[in-house]
């Protein structure tokens, strides 16, 4: 790299690092970097591995105009931004990623032109920050296989890639990386160098994949990433993927990450949505405190490289948003914002529904009857939120007795989706719901 290029890179990195990453956030271990569930957009459901800088800039502009006012503030470029030949949802069998001389991945310049000359994601991050958004990236666990093949040096040490790689630790579905053996000298130094680079680029959010399964085998690398973020000097929200993170490891994952997936990739099929109810019920004791079980992105609107719109029916889409809100899962839109229709925008931006996701507490399930799911939570300022779900194949009445949520007598009821008051109720909160439908209510004693 020439002296001019290096000075330019350092200047760009310093400028990006000076931008506010997480409002009011301090380092991990003091105050949470995610006091409320993160909200944003991720490129996977729309672009697979193929997003380009031009598409990213266009999408970020739409996001800032249409979703940022509702709180969606984190823009994330998903997997294989370093592969010049990434094509679709399938991975190249033997990728040739762009790397620097220390085995650290760089954006492919043919897809991200501003990254040329060693600039990395700093210029794109600066453009995203200028829109009032945070900038996130997806990375895979470990060290590039190509770095091991070439035996590149580990920055700041006398060691090389083969000294730290565990070539037996590979992802079952992606060919890019080998695991890092954290028992070896230089292993932490490698992760430190990677996240120091992300900090220079101005990254605010990192989704680290191939971490959560098998959990215990990868726990040392989870700890290494968390430590590397802390040492980088820049607050970065850590999101672990994919599922299913085991509930018995809740204490460990909460110590090291702000959010973690509880399921494999979630797509727009009713059986996948129905399965999420049980997962969120199992994770309910661990919701909050700046730590968030993650149901995955919202597959809404235009999906799959523009091939189709969401297969969820309108009732199922409302069920999805109601469930993610009452369980306080991160709200990460996955659909192509360039084709955002009015109905999907309204679904994503209802302020009374988002308030449940961002400001409720004591979120808990109530398991009373087959074919139904019921949740409640404490509403700020008094009263309770109630979410009623009909998971059966036919319309039915779904009810939650008031004594189950500590109320009695008469209550006033507000329909949060309709943003309108309903008639007062006694004894139970009840609604007639269509198949796969949901209702989200605020209930207040009269």
pLDDT surpassing 50 at residue 32: yes
Q: In the prediction, which pLDDT does 13 show?
A: 38
d(CA 175, CA 393) in angstroms, rounded, equals 41
23 assigned to some structural domain? no
d(CA 417, CA 438) in angstroms, rounded, equals 10
Domain containing 81 equals 39-359
Rounded to an integer, the average pLDDT of 190-197 is 98
189 and 237 inside one domain: yes
d(CA 232, CA 275) in angstroms, rounded, equals 38
Q: In the prediction, which pLDDT does 20 show?
A: 35
Task: Of 15-19, 124-128, 326-330, give the lowest mean pLDDT range.
Answer: 15-19
Among 359, 389, 406, identify where a domain stops: 359
pLDDT surpassing 70 at residue 222: yes
Rounded to an integer, the average pLDDT of 23-42 is 72
pLDDT surpassing 50 at residue 425: yes
6 assigned to some structural domain? no
351 and 372 inside one domain: no
pLDDT surpassing 80 at residue 9: no
d(CA 266, CA 12) in angstroms, rounded, equals 36
In angstroms, the Cα distances linking 446 to 402, 405, 418, 425 are 13, 15, 21, 10
Rounded to an integer, the average pLDDT of 36-40 is 98
pLDDT surpassing 70 at residue 73: yes
108 assigned to some structural domain? yes
288 and 417 inside one domain: no
Q: In the prediction, which pLDDT does 57 show?
A: 98
339 and 370 inside one domain: no
125 and 244 inside one domain: yes
Q: In the prediction, which pLDDT does 243 show?
A: 80
176 assigned to some structural domain? yes
Q: In the prediction, which pLDDT does 22 show?
A: 34
Rounded to an integer, the average pLDDT of 351-366 is 98
**Which residue did the predictor score with more confidence, 428 or 23?**
428
Q: In the prediction, which pLDDT does 393 show?
A: 97
188 assigned to some structural domain? yes
Q: Which of 147, 143, 142, 125 is nearest to 134 (CA)?
A: 125
**Residue 400, domain CATH:** 2.60.40.1180
What tens digit of pLDDT does each residue of 383-418 get? 999 999 999 999 999 999 999 999 999 999 999 999
Q: In the prediction, which pLDDT does 31 show?
A: 63
The answer to whether the CB of 30 falls within 8 A of the CB of 64 is no
355 and 392 inside one domain: no
d(CA 287, CA 364) in angstroms, rounded, equals 9
For residue 382, with 0-12 CB atoms within 10 Å meaning exposed, 13-18 middle and 19 or more buried, which class applies? exposed
Q: In the prediction, which pLDDT does 334 show?
A: 98
Among 359, 394, 424, identify where a domain stops: 359
| Helix intervals (H) in 36-92 | 44-47, 53-66
For residue 93, with 0-12 CB atoms within 10 Å meaning exposed, 13-18 middle and 19 or more buried, which class applies? exposed
Rounded to an integer, the average pLDDT of 238-245 is 92
pLDDT surpassing 60 at residue 205: yes
pLDDT surpassing 90 at residue 232: yes
328 assigned to some structural domain? yes
390 assigned to some structural domain? yes
374 and 351 inside one domain: no
pLDDT surpassing 80 at residue 329: yes
CA triple 440-267-71, angle to 5 deg:
50
133 and 281 inside one domain: yes
391 and 434 inside one domain: yes
280 and 420 inside one domain: no
120 and 139 inside one domain: yes
At 399, which helix (H) or strand (E)?
strand 396-401
Handedness of CA 142, 156, 18, 131 (dihedral sign): negative
pLDDT surpassing 60 at residue 304: yes
Among 359, 385, 417, identify where a domain stops: 359
The answer to whether the CB of 355 falls within 8 A of the CB of 414 is no
Tally of domains in the chain: 2
What is the chain's mean pLDDT, rounded?
A: 93
296 and 333 inside one domain: yes
14 assigned to some structural domain? no
**Residue 293, domain CATH:** 3.20.20.70
Percent of the chain with pLDDT over 70: 93
């Amino acid at each position: 790299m020439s002296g001019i290029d290096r000075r330019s890179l350092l200047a760009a990195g310093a400028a990006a690092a000076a931008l506010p990453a997480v409002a009011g956030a301090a380092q991990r271990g003091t105050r949470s970097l995610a006091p409320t569930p993160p909200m944003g957009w991720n490129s996977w459901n729309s672009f697979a591995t193929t997003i380009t800088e031009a598409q990213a800039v266009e999408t970020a502009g739409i996001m800032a105009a249409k979703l940022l006012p509702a709180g969606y503030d984190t823009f994330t470029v998903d997997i294989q931004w370093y592969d010049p030949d990434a094509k679709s949802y399938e991975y190249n069998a033997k990728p040739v990623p762009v790397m620097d001389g220390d085995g650290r991945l760089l954006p492919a310049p043919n897809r991200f032109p501003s990254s040329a000359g060693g600039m990395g994601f700093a210029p794109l991050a600066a453009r995203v920050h200028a829109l009032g958004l945070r900038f996130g990236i997806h990375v895979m666990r470990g060290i590039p296989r190509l770095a091991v093949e070439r035996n590149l040096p580990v920055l700041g040490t006398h060691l090389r890639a083969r000294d730290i790689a565990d070539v037996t630790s590979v992802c079952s579905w992606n060919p890019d990386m080998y695991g890092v053996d954290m028992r070896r000298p230089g292993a932490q130094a490698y992760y430190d160098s990677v996240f120091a680079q992300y900090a220079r680029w101005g990254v605010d959010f990192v989704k680290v994949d191939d971490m959560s399964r098998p959990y215990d085998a990868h726990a040392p690398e989870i700890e290494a990433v968390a430590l590397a973020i802390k040492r980088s000097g820049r607050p970065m929200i850590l999101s672990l993927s994919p599922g299913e993170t085991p509930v018995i490891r809740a204490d460990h994952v909460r110590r090291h990450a702000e959010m973690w997936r509880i399921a494999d990739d979630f797509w727009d099929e009713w059986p996948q949505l129905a399965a999420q109810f049980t997962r969120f019920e199992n994770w309910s004791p661990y919701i909050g405190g700046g730590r968030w079980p993650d149901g995955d992105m919202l597959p809404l609107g235009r999906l799959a490289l523009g091939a189709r719109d969401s297969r969820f029916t309108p009732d199922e889409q409302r069920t999805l948003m109601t469930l993610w809100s009452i369980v306080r899962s991160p709200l990460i839109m996955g659909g192509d914002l360039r084709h955002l229709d009015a109905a999907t925008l309204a679904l994503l931006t209802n302020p009374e529904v988002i308030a449940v996701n961002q400001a409720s507490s004591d979120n808990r399930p109530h398991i009373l009857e087959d074919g139904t799911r019921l949740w409640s939570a404490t509403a700020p300022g008094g009263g309770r939120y109630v979410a009623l779900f009909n998971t059966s194949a036919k319309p039915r009445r779904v009810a939650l007795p008031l004594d189950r949520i500590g109320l009695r007598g008469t209550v006033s009821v507000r329909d949060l989706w309709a943003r309108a008051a309903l008639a007062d109720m006694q004894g139970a909160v009840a609604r007639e719901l269509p198949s796969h439908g949901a209702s989200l209510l605020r209930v207040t004693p009269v």
